A = this chain, B = another copy of it.
Amino acid sequence: MKGLKGALVFAQSGGPTSVINASAAGVFIEGLDSEMITEVYGAAHGIRGILNEEFFDMKKEDRKELELLKNTPSSALGSVRYKLKDADVDDTDYKRLLEVFKKYDVRYFFYNGGNDSMDTCNKISKYMAKSGYEMNVIGVPKTIDNDLYGTDHCPGFASAAKYIATTIMEINLDAKVYDTGMICIIEAMGRNAGWLTASAALANYKGYGADLIYLPETDFDVDKFVEDVKAVCAKNNNKCIVCVSEGIHDKNGTLIGELLGKAGARDSFGHAQLGGVAANLANIVKEKTGIKTRAIELSLMQRCAAHCASKTDVEETFEAGRQAVKAAVRGETDKMVCYKRKEGKEYVCEYELLPLELAANTEKTVPAEWITNNGTGISEEFIKYALPLIQGEANAPKEDGLPRFAKLKKVPVAKR
């Protein structure tokens, strides 16, 4: 059913990416240009901004600043982690959402996020349909974790992968600069899916990578790990570069970070030490090998390094936002925008739609057959998959030699 004329609301949810605002730009610019859309609102801090009627009037923004959103990391509208209850159990939030949507005549709703956000989006879509309120709802995917079901890859993943591979290449050279031993353990994000950690293999492909790569898709054994490192050191002049996922766990599913960190690690003030997996593993190999070690957490940088973003990712992420609006206006609802890789030699990304209930709450992990070398390597298949995604430099605009981020006015919409 073709959408009604009415207002558009867009909101961002969950952990940001370095390109997340490219989708915001796509939604806003397409929305502003659409005859069916009367108002373009951005909600502050995801679903909470809708519950609290905190909307920004995107018509008041300069088009140039909206364009700059493509290269501005971290959710420009603010994010939230807010899980809606099932409407059958408690429909308070849903009633309130319906009330707000009616009050502002919202006929188009777009939610930008990962698995949990697609679940939220799905629940809202279903409730509004059941209530007989005509509103087209489209989810716009976003996650560096790359773990959303039904899409070839996720907006934001490629830029994080490009940052990780670039940084590991640089660290590889730096860590090997002396003729003395050095074990360097690099920690990437990813609780359950190892896509980001696997990106270290792109650095390997260029010849400056990690000798050992451990994903959360396999069980991790600390003793085996120490032996793996020793074996690399033995044949490599005591040099070894490791990339581990924050989510590595033992065969019982216990996180290695918790396993190693829990038992009474305290500083001189008696505070519990919170060191990450890499720091804990570095301590162990240092003791077991006597070789100098260094732990490096890629921390927030891997998800906010817009200065190192993939042009391909920026463009696709922007287009995902545009496609969401186009789909809603032509009558689609209850769907998530997906990437489909066109068959053929050359990489081409096509945009499709997937029912929200399929996208929500299903995690896509790295295929077991792509994990090689007894759980320490990544196959050529991954390189074929990931390499096209990291092509091109975003060339984010600079001012004074530093990033020029979008400056939004964020003019509040008067509460009704």
Contacts and interface: CB of A to CB of B under 8 A. Distances in A.
Interface residues of A, number: 82
Interface stretch (A100-108, A111-119, A391-399): A391-399
A379 interface: no
A178 B80 contact: yes
A190 interface: no
A152 interface: no
A280 B390 CA distance: 36
A297 interface: yes
Contacts of A296: 297, 299-301
Nearest to A54: B179
A307 to B, nearest CB: 5
A116 to B, nearest CB: 14
A262 B268 contact: yes
A231 interface: no
Nearest to A16: B177
B308 A307 contact: yes
A283 B272 contact: yes
Contacts of A169: 402-403, 405
A416 interface: no
Contacts of A287: 269, 271
A213 interface: no
Given A45-B179, A170-B18, A170-B304, A267 B274 contact: no
A283 to B, nearest CB: 4
Nearest to A283: B271
B275 A174 contact: no
Nearest to A184: B300
A178 to B, nearest CB: 6
A51 to B, nearest CB: 12
A294 B284 contact: no
Given A304-B171, A402-B202, A268 B274 contact: no
A129 B388 CA distance: 58
Interface stretch (A1-9, A71-79, A84-92, A336-344): A71-79
A284 to B, nearest CB: 6
A400 B206 contact: yes
Contact of A170 (B74, B208, B263, B264): B74
Contacts of A307: 166, 170, 308
A389 B390 CA distance: 30
Given A75-B177, A174-B304, A273-B273, 17 more contacts: A45-B179, A72-B173, A73-B170, A74-B173, A78-B177, A78-B179, A79-B178, A81-B178, A166-B402, A202-B402, A206-B402, A260-B267, A264-B268, A265-B266, A271-B284, A390-B401, A390-B402
Interface of A: 15-16, 18, 44-45, 48, 72-75, 78-81, 162, 165-167, 169-171, 173-179, 184, 202-203, 205-206, 208, 259-269, 271-275, 279-280, 282-284, 286-287, 294, 296-297, 299-301, 303-308, 310, 387, 390-393, 398-403, 405
